[in-house]
Structure 1
Amino acid sequence: MTEREPFRTRIKVRHYELDTLGHLNHAVYHSYGEVARLELLEAAGGLAGFTAEKLAAVLLETHVVFRRELRAGDVVDVTCDVKFGSGKTFRMDSNIVKVDGTPAAEITCTLGLMDLERRKLVEDPRARFEAAGADLKLLSTAE
């Protein structure tokens, strides 16, 4: 049996994203992770269900480990993989990898699903993703 690959999206580093040292600004790594998270949620098909149920994914914590610098014109693949556990939170992990295979960064995020009317996190986010019609196998390689 082969291991499934996580969702990925491709991004080109733009000149205006660079810092004074000529490499990708640290905050932009977070933006790249956000792009991958949102594109995964859209591709998995749960966003319409979240809107109908008045739910939204909210970022609670994010951590980046920088491995290699990125410069203007570099092209990267940004992965995203959901890890459900017990409780109200879940993780969305991303890797930023140059197209030549060089790891550039690892991003770990903790999120929750917020009930937009109650302004509280919901119980069992995995079940809520499933009820919203999201493709759990696309969201998570562990499914």
Structure 2
Amino acid sequence: MSEREPFRIQVKVRHYELDTLGHLNHAVYHSYGEVARIEAMEQASGGRDNLRTENLSGVLLESHIVYRQEIRGGDVVEVTAEFEFGDGKVFHATHQICKLDGTLAAEITCTLGLMDLERRKLVDDPRGRLERAGFDLKVLTTSD
């Protein structure tokens, strides 16, 4: 078991992101997960756009959320991003959205792939493709 921590970023909830009950709108939770995924991928790439030079792009195939606690305007939350690679064309990301006191507010699980932008098809071995593109997978995953 690794002692590395998952990637994390803090986000302040803006009032225009709230629903009529004063809670964070359901769609915004997914946006926060996307912010964490994009920031993690950017950090792992070292700020280089190597996927584009290989004519690849990450694609979101599925997203599922479980709401645990309400989030309200003005709250600051921490969003984690942890990627898991296996065999095949897809990989997974999990996100925890926590209040600063550590309260788990939501969990998001996503299925992702890397798409060949010419063929419009998912490529095999996304982990290997990311490594070959110069990504530091230690930023994306805590497993070795």
TM-score by length of 1: 0.97
Distance 1:17 1:2 in 2: 36
Q: How well do the aligned residues superpose, as a CA RMSD in angstroms?
A: 1.2
Match of 1:77 in 2: 78
Structure 2 match to 1:27: 27
Deviation string 1:42-78 (CA, Å, 9 cap, x unpaired) is 0001751101101000000000000000000100000
Structure 1 consecutive aligned stretches of length 4 or more whose deviation exceeds 2 Å: none
Are the counterparts in 1 of residues 2 and 143 from structure 2 also a CA contact under 8 Å?
no
Identity of aligned residues (%): 66
Q: In structure 2, list runs of 5 or more residues that go unmatched.
A: none
Q: 1:9 — aligned with what? A: 9
Equivalent positions of 1:122-137 (< 5 A) are 122-137=123-138
Question: Following the alignment from structure 2 to structure 1, what is the Cα–Cα distance between the partners of residues 137 and 5?
Answer: 14
Q: Quick check: 2:113–2:122 contact (8 Å CA) kept in 1?
A: yes
Counterpart for residue 51 of structure 1: 52
Whether 2:69 is the aligned partner of 1:68: answer: yes
In 2, Cα distance between equivalents of 1:139 and 1:25: 27
1:2 is displaced (CA, Å) by 6.2
Q: Deviations over 1:84-121 (max 9, x none)?
A: 01000000110000011000000000000000000000
Q: What residue number does 1:120 align with?
A: 121
Q: How far apart, CA to CA, are the structure 2 residues paired with 1:51 and 1:116?
A: 9
Separation in 1, partners of 2:57, 2:93? 15
Question: What does residue range 103-118 of structure 1 map to in structure 2 within 5 Å?
Answer: 103-118=104-119
Is 39-48 or 53-62 further displaced after alignment?
Answer: 39-48
Letter matched to residue 84 of structure 2: K
Q: Which runs of 5+ in 1 are unaligned?
A: none
Give TM-score scaled by structure 2 length. Answer: 0.96
Structure 1 distance, partners of 2:77, 2:122, is: 33
Q: Distance in 2 between matches of 1:138 and 1:31?
A: 20
In structure 2, what is the Cα distance between the partners aligned to 1:2 and 1:43? 20
- Cα deviations across residues 11-65 of structure 1 (Å, max 9, x unaligned)? 0000000000000000000000000000000000175110110100000000000
